[in-house]
A = this chain, B = another copy of it.
Amino acid sequence: MMIDQLDARLIALLEEEPRIGVLECSRRLNAARGTIQARLDRLAAKGVITGHGPQIDPAALGFDVTAFVTLQIRQVSGHVPVADRLALVPEVLEVHTITGGGDMLCRVVARSNADLQRVIDLIVDVEGVVRTSSVIALDTPVPYRTLPLVKAAGT
């Protein structure tokens, strides 16, 4: 879907100050309230904006350790049942299937390095998982963001 400058500025504005309402947005962007409302509805309808939920920092909850676990699975049964099992582990935040022989990559968090071992054991125990290899994220110089992308996409 194509978005224009107004959309991009709207998203950027909401990203920076989410508390402001539609009316305030319209004032800041020099547009009518109806326009802003229409834009937001469209962006939501097209799936660009998937939600407005609160963003949670796992580290603030005590899950200081983030790791990326690459796992090799048995090809026989496919990856769906494996993904379903992985989804049951709360510490698994994200699962992707990736190129390179039906393997998967998942992002996990844990309370400590020792706790990470427990989480990894949970993953290894999943039926169909053959082997895992994990790397620990030491630091996150660039935390997840989409703003630059949105600005770049705004035509």
Residues of chain A at the chain B interface (Cβ within 8 Å): 1-3, 11, 14-16, 18-19, 43, 46-63, 66, 68, 79-80, 83-84, 86-87, 89-100, 105-107, 109, 135-146, 148-153
Contact = CB atoms under 8 A, between A and B. Distances in A.
A69 to B, nearest CB: 12
A interface secondary structure, majority: mixed
B152 A96 contact: no
Copy total for this chain: 2
10 contacts: A1-B60, A3-B61, A15-B51, A48-B56, A48-B61, A51-B55, A52-B53, A86-B142, A90-B151, A93-B144
B139 A96 contact: yes
